[in-house]
Amino acid sequence: MNVDIIILAAGEGKRMQSNLPKVLQPLGNKPLLQHVIDTCSQINKSKLHIVVGGHNKLIQSSVKAPRSTNWVLQRKQLGTGHAVKQTLSSLRPNSCVVVVYGDGPLVRIKTLKKLISRTSKDNLSLLTFEASNPKGLGRIIRQSNSKVVGIVEEKDASVSERKITEVNSGIMATSSKNLKVWLPQLKNNNAAKEYYLTDVVSCCHNEEKSITVINLGNSEELLGANDAQELQNLERIYQKEMAKSFIEKGVKFADVNRVDFRGEIVIGKNVFIDINVVLQGNVSLGNDCIISAGAVIKDSKLNKKVKVEPYSVIENSQIGDNSSIGPFAHVGPGAELEQGVEVGNFVEVKRSKIGKKTKAKHLAYIGDGALEAEINVGAGTIFVNYDGKNKNKTKVGSNAFIGSNSSLVAPLIIGKNSMIGAGSVITKNVSENKLALGRSKQKNIKKR
């Protein structure tokens, strides 16, 4: 059966008190709506219809949706029922129509598939859950025989109805045929003066068609975000879910409450992640890595057994096996480290390649460098890469030894096995196997 999935994203989201439309608010650094799109587009034979309102251009340019997506404009936000109505003419005949809300990003593919499998052309199926705090949500009204007869919105609910804890997730499915009959029947004679989608439940009941309810109990999967507090709540739920899925693949965390995933993250086996680590963008961590407290890793690939010491930042970089970074190091953008490289305390590496087992363990700046293998970069070494106009390159051959507190003024080539005396300012190339001294000679003068 064809599946038409309608994602409602036209609401103004006033309760969020932000200039950014609600469905573009980030969860794990990705817009709420993008989460919903990513999940829905995994359903076979599905076509997405996304209903947008005032911010339609911004929304369309801020998310990635399948090419076949039908963007539908709801000019005035007259309610969720009115929003779905805007899609009626583009729904395929006899398709199964699933309605999801753009502000409910945690719903899983498994749940949507279950809902679809329980939907036929003659019924309506509904996802509900038990809310510890049902504030603001539609309550599920059941007869004494527990048959569902309708949904009442909180604004319209009586005192006793408000005590009901089984609530509407907003996600429902039925045939396009049913929707074409029910939606034109909706009235807005309610507290919000809106056309509520939820009223189709009583339409279905009145036609004596069956209503199938899938109640997910106290699962957090169906929670939505209307305001900043709820969004924050979803953020932590999402983060813990991500951590859990990594734990299942053999990753270990010091505390799942203190780690943040903000992108497409791949983590190998037996990786340990300490507290307050942020992984952002496209990050890949190989097996047996150790990521210490406070590390921030963005758009980078770390191979196997890399050790990142506390409070280090790695961005747009590649780190080879067995390398170690930090504490307090800044690697990248544009750093490529081979195997067994050590970049230590307060060292910055930018747009540079560093060969096998090269070490820069303390207080150095390596910018626009091409360093071969097994070099020692002494404490306080500066690659002087900027002459005020241009950035220039420094090449250092393998086994070179750069004495502490040296300035290497680029463009510069330092040959293999050469040695730079501590405190030198090197402005001329140094050929292989030379000792270069670029400093004034020490004089010891008799004290008076």
State which residue, 23 or 319, has the beta carbon closest to ligand UD1. Answer: 23
Query: Which residue in the block uniquely carries the two structure tokens 């670029």?
Result: 438
Of 148, 25, 39, give the one whose Cα is nearest residue 100.
39
CB-based contact 219:107 (threshold 8 Å):
no
Closest residue by beta carbon to ligand UD1 = 138
- With H, G, I as helix, E, B as strand and everything else as coil, classify residue 298: strand
Binding ligand UD1 (rule: CB under 6 A), the pick from 50, 51, 127, 183 is: 51
Site string for ligand UD1, 183-202 (x = CB under 6 A): -------------xxx----
To ligand UD1, the closest distance from the beta carbon of 152 in angstroms equals 9
Choose from ligand UD1, Ca ion, none: what does 298 bind? Cβ within 5-8 Å by kind: none
Nearer residue to ligand UD1 within complex by CB, 223 or 377: 223
Residues 268-307: x/- map of binding to Ca ion (CB under 5 A)? ----------------------------------------
Instruction: Give whichever of 125 and 358 is closer to ligand UD1, judged by the CB atom.
Output: 125
CB atoms within 10 A of CB 106: 21
The residue whose two tokens read 């499915």 is 173
Residue with the two structure tokens 């490289």: 341
Q: In the window 94-133, what residues touch Ca ion (CB under 5 A)?
A: 103
* Cβ proximity to ligand UD1, 49 vs 351, nearer residue: 49
Choice between 103 and 315, CB closer to Ca ion: 103
Q: Does 11 bind ligand UD1 (CB under 6 A)?
A: yes
Q: Which does 8 bind (CB under 5 to 8 A by kind): ligand UD1, Ca ion, none?
A: ligand UD1
Judged by CB under 6 A, the chain residues 56 through 85 that form the site for ligand UD1 are: 74, 77-80, 82-83
User: Out of ligand UD1, Ca ion, none, which partner does residue 168 contact, by CB within 5 to 8 A per kind?
Assistant: ligand UD1
Minimum CB separation from ligand UD1 for residue 157, in Å?
A: 10
360 binds, among ligand UD1, Ca ion, none (CB under 5 to 8 A by kind): none
* Interface with ligand UD1, residue 169, by CB under 6 A: yes
Q: Which residues contact 74 (CB under 8 A, 6 or more apart)?
A: 10, 51, 52, 53, 82, 83, 86
Residue 434 contacts residue 426 (beta carbons within 8 Å): no
CB < 8 Å & 24+ apart, contacts of 156-160? 156/190, 156/191, 156/192
Q: Which of 224, 268, 286, 344 binds Ca ion (CB under 5 A)?
A: 224
Cis geometry, peptide bond prior to residue 327 (ω within 30 degrees of 0): yes
Residue 440 has what DSSP assignment?
P
- The reply on whether position 166 binds ligand UD1 by CB under 6 A is no
Q: Which stretch binds Ca ion (CB under 5 A): 156-164, 222-230, 290-298, 308-316?
A: 222-230
* Residue placing its CB nearer to Ca ion in the complex, 12 or 122: 12
Work out whether 170 is an interface residue with ligand UD1 (CB under 6 A): yes
Distance, CA of 308 to CA of 292 (rounded, Å): 6
What is the rounded CA–CA span in Å between residue 328 and residue 313? 8
Tokens 């030894």 sit on residue: 401
Q: How far apart are CA 392 and CA 242, in angstroms?
A: 43
Residue found by looking up tokens 């749940």 in the block: 111
Q: How many chain residues touch Ca ion (CB under 5 A)?
A: 3
CA proximity to 302, closest of 315, 292, 262:
315
- When asked if residue 99 is in the footprint of ligand UD1 (CB under 6 A), the reply is no
Say how far residue 63 (Cα) sits from the centre of its chain.
13
**What is the 8-class DSSP label of residue 395?**
E
Q: Does the CA dihedral 251-255-257-262 come out positive or negative?
A: negative
Pick the piece of the chain touching ligand UD1 (CB under 6 A) from 63-71, 90-98, 133-141, 240-248. 133-141
Burial of 410 (0-12, 13-18, 19+ CB in 10 A): buried
For residue 150, state whether it binds ligand UD1 (rule: CB under 6 A): no
Per rule CB under 6 A, is residue 137 in the interface with ligand UD1?
yes
- 402 contacts ligand UD1 (rule: CB under 6 A): no
Is the separation of the CB atoms in 21 and 58 below 8 Å? yes
- The residue among 101 and 253 lying less far from Ca ion, judged by its C-beta, is 101
Element containing residue 82 per DSSP (H, E): helix 80-85
- Among the options 35, 49, 55, 362, which is catalytic? 362
Beta strand 352-354 pairing with 324-325: unpaired
Identify what 196 binds: Ca ion, ligand UD1, none; CB under 5 to 8 Å per kind.
Answer: ligand UD1
Beta bridge partners, 172, equal: 99, 126
Active site residue 362: yes
- When asked if residue 309 is in the footprint of Ca ion (CB under 5 A), the reply is no
**Catalytic positions, please?**
362
Q: Which residues bind Ca ion (CB under 5 A)?
A: 103, 224, 226
Q: Which residues bind ligand UD1 (CB under 6 A)?
A: 8-11, 23, 51, 74, 77-80, 82-83, 101-104, 136-138, 151, 153, 167-170, 196-198, 224, 226
